Amino acid sequence: MTEKVAVRIRELVREICLENEVQILKGHISRGHVHLFVSRPSSLSASKLMQYIKEKTSRKVLMEFPHIRKRYWEGHIWGRRYFVVSSGNVAEEVIMEYI
């Protein structure tokens, strides 16, 4: 993932979170994955938030970056899997340090 693509993904994730009243507490985009520590409204499930993020970022990135469209011609830049955990049992500082 180039720096331009990473910056664009960050912008899109911020837009999606803002639209859905999700507060990003910390985030990091690396070459192969994205880490997010968020506070979301109880009316929005984690799986639905991930669906929004993956769908919108994938669609926009493939439209805006032709070199990526050539590599991921099926239309999916993200894998199906993701990992979500509640921070209720873990100190926020530990999560922030990890991200």
CATH of the domain at 94: 3.30.70.1290
With 70 as the cut, is the pLDDT of residue 72 above it?
Answer: no
Q: Which domain holds residue 75?
A: 3-98
Neighbours of 35 (CB within 10 A): 13
For the stretch 6-65, pLDDT in tens is: 999 999 999 999 999 999 998 998 877 889 989 999 999 999 999 999 999 988 988 898
- pLDDT (0 to 100) of residue 10: 94
Q: How many domains does the chain have?
A: 1
- pLDDT (0 to 100) of residue 73: 60
Q: Does 23 or 92 have the greater pLDDT score?
A: 23
The answer to whether 87 and 15 have CB atoms below 8 angstroms apart is no
